[in-house]
Amino acid sequence: MTTAMGDLPLARRYLPKSLGDKIALAFTVIMLLIVALFELFIILPDIFPNYGTLYNVYVCIGLFLYLNCMGNLIMMTRIDVTSGTTVLPAILKTGWRYCHVCMQNSPPRSFHCFNCDSCILKRDHHCVFAGKCVGYYNHRFYLVTLLYLFLGSLFANFLNFDHAWALLGGANWKSLITMIVPFVAWIFGFTERYTFMLSFLCGTCIVACALIGVMCYYYTSLMLHGQTTHENGTRCKDYDLGWKQNLKDALGERWYLVWLCPFISSHLPGNGLEFKKGRTMEDIKDM
Ligand SMILES: [Zn+2]
Ligand SMILES: [Zn+2]
C-alpha cells in the first residue's frame, strides 16, 4: 500500500531496480559523504586551527548545505512518481495514449520508463544518480537537490582553494597535471599519495561544480518555461502558463519556501493527470 506524506504519495519501493542505478545512487551518496568529511576533518581544521567562531559558522553552513542535499535526494527517491492507486480511465481520452507495457491508458505528458518499469506522470527524465525518474510529484526535490549540489560544490571549492594551491606548490605544469588528472600525476610519480587524494577530491569538486551549474541552469530554465526535457526536444510550449504559474506547478504553492527544507509542505495545484494549456490574461499580467 502506498501512503501519503502531506499531499505527496510515497513509493512502495525506495531503492532503484537495476544494478546500474543502485551503483550510481551508492556512488552519489558515498561521494557526498566523503567530500563532506574531507571538508569537515581536513580542510576546515587547516583553515581554522583554533576552531574559533568563524569555524563554527562555516561548519553550520556546510551542514545546512549537506543536509538539504541529502534530504531532498532522499525525498526524491521516496516519492511515488507513477499514477499509484489512481484508477485510470478505460476509454482513451483526448491527449492520452495507450501504454502497451503497462497495458493501461496513460495521461498527457507521461511516458513509460523501462528502468522504473512504469509510466511516469509528467516524466522529465530518468535520473541515474538518484536511480529514479523525475516526474510530477518529485520535480521539486530534484531541482532543490541540484541547487544544493551546486551551492555545496561551490562552497567546497571556496574552502579548498588556498589549501590545494599551497599543497600543490603554486602555478606550475606539475601542479596543473596533478589537479586536472591526479591519477596520471600519481602514476608518473609527480605527486605523493596524500597530494593525489587531495587533488582528486579538489578536482572532483571543480568538475562537479561546473557540470551541476550547467544542469541547474538548464532544468531551472525548462521549469520556468513549463517544459519537460522531452517537450523541450520537440519544441512543445503548450503548457507554458507564465513563469510564476510554472513555478507553482513544479514546486507547489509555497515555491518560495521549498529551498529551506525538504519537509516543508508545498501543495501542488494539479493531480499529474490533467494539465492546463496556454496562458490566460491573468498569467500574462503576472509576468
Ligand atoms: Zn507504461
Ligand atoms: Zn525511470
How close is the Cα of 88 to the center of ligand 1, in Å? 12
Q: Which ligand is nearest to the CA of 118?
A: 1
Average pLDDT rounded to a whole number, residues 123-128: 95
Residue-number span of the structural domain to which 83 is assigned: 7-286
pLDDT of residue 1: 41
d(CA 36, CA 33): 5
The neighbourhood of ligand 2, an ion, using CB within 5 A, equals 113, 115-116, 126, 133
Q: Is residue 1 part of a domain?
A: no
Q: Is residue 187 part of a domain?
A: yes
Residue 281 has pLDDT above 50, yes or no: no
Helix boundaries (H) for 97-172: 139-168
Q: Is residue 54 part of a domain?
A: yes
Q: What is the pLDDT of residues 220-233, one digit of tens each?
A: 999 999 999 999 99
Q: Is residue 158 part of a domain?
A: yes
Q: Is residue 2 part of a domain?
A: no
pLDDT of residue 176: 67
120 bridge partner residues: 111
How close is the Cα of 135 to the center of ligand 2, in Å? 9
How close is the Cα of 126 to the center of ligand 2, in Å? 4
d(CA 280, CA 41): 54
pLDDT of residue 218: 97
Q: Which of 127, 133, 205, 209 is labelled catalytic?
A: 127
Q: Is residue 33 part of a domain?
A: yes
205 an active-site residue? no
Cα within 13 Å of Cα(231), Cβ side: 19
How close is the Cα of 45 to the center of ligand 2, in Å? 41
Q: Is residue 73 part of a domain?
A: yes
Q: What is the pLDDT of residues 216-267, one digit of tens each?
A: 999 999 999 999 999 999 998 889 999 999 999 999 999 999 999 999 999 9
Number of domains in the chain: 1
By three-state DSSP, how is residue 160 classified? helix
